[in-house]
Every structure is written in C-alpha cells, then in structure tokens.
C-alpha cells in the first residue's frame, strides 16, 4: 500500500511539473483592429511561429499596415507587413524567430496608398 501511495504521489508531481513548464513557455497571441467604424482591418501576432498576419477586411480603397515591435538584449526590432491587394483577398504575413518570453506590441493602421498617412491606428500587446 505504501509503495502504491508513493507511486501515485510521484506521478502527480511529475504531471504537475510538466504542466507548469509548458504553461510558462507558452506565448500570448495578440490581435489589434483598426479604430475606424466597422474595422477596416487587423494585425495579429501568432506566438506559435512568431508570425505577424495583416488583413484588409473592408473594400474602402485603403491598405492595412501592420507592425510588430519588440526589444531583446540585442536591440529593438520592427517587423512590417501590409495587405495591399484589397479586402477579402489573401492577407499578408511576416515571420521570424523571437526569443521566448519577449513582450511584443502589434500596431495596425489604415493607409491611403503606399505613402499615405497612417490613420485609425490601434495597438495590442502579447508575448513570444
């Protein structure tokens, strides 16, 4: 009986450690929607793959500009993607490795053309 109890306690401890370890390493996705009425687009950080997705969702003649901003021990970084082919077509995406646990900021804006001023910007935070 005592051996069985030790086995059960050891199994429980091992399971608890495994769960706490995987939770600590899990990142947090973040999605930001443009601040215009009806959300003209969005930008999303996907922690599994360290990817920035940017999508135009409204046929308003504007493009959606997305940025992923983060700082590591080696410097500050800015990853940019733009959905330039109109609403409800393919979204844009950029990916690259970011150290686990790094705080990231997703920024999204609408732009009128490649050199247009940014408008209706919004941000959201996540973790790699």
CA distance 45 to 53: 7
User: Does the pLDDT at position 111 exceed 60?
Assistant: yes
CA distance 73 to 54: 27
On whether residue 95 sits in a domain, the answer given is yes
3-state SS record for the chain: CHHHHHHHHHHHHHHHHHHHHHHHHCCECEEEECCCCCCCEEEEEECCCCEEEEEECCCCCCEEEEEEEEEECCEEEEEEEEECCCCCCCCEEEECCCCCCCEEEEEEEEECCCCCCEEEEEEEEEEC
On whether residue 85 sits in a domain, the answer given is yes
Question: What pTM was computed for the model?
Answer: 0.78
On whether residue 71 sits in a domain, the answer given is yes
On whether residue 41 sits in a domain, the answer given is yes
Give the range of the structural domain holding residue 123, as residue numbers without chain letter.
27-127
On whether residue 107 sits in a domain, the answer given is yes
CATH number, domain at 65? 2.60.40
Q: pLDDT tens-digit profile of 19-78?
A: 344 445 679 999 999 999 989 999 999 999 999 999 999 999 999 999 999 999 999 999
Number of domains in the chain: 1
């Amino acid at each position: 009986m005592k051996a069985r109890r030790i086995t059960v306690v050891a199994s429980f401890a091992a399971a608890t450690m495994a769960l706490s370890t995987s939770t600590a390493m899990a990142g947090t996705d973040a999605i930001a929607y443009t601040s215009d009425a009806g959300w003209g687009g969005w930008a999303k950080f996907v922690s599994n793959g360290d990817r920035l997705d940017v999508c135009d969702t409204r046929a308003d003649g504007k493009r959606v500009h997305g940025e992923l901003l983060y700082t590591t021990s080696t410097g500050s970084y800015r990853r940019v993607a733009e959905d330039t082919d109109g609403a409800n077509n393919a979204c844009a995406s950029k990916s690259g490795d970011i150290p686990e646990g790094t705080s990231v900021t997703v920024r999204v804006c609408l732009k009128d053309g490649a050199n247009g001023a940014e408008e209706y910007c919004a941000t959201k935070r996540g973790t790699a």
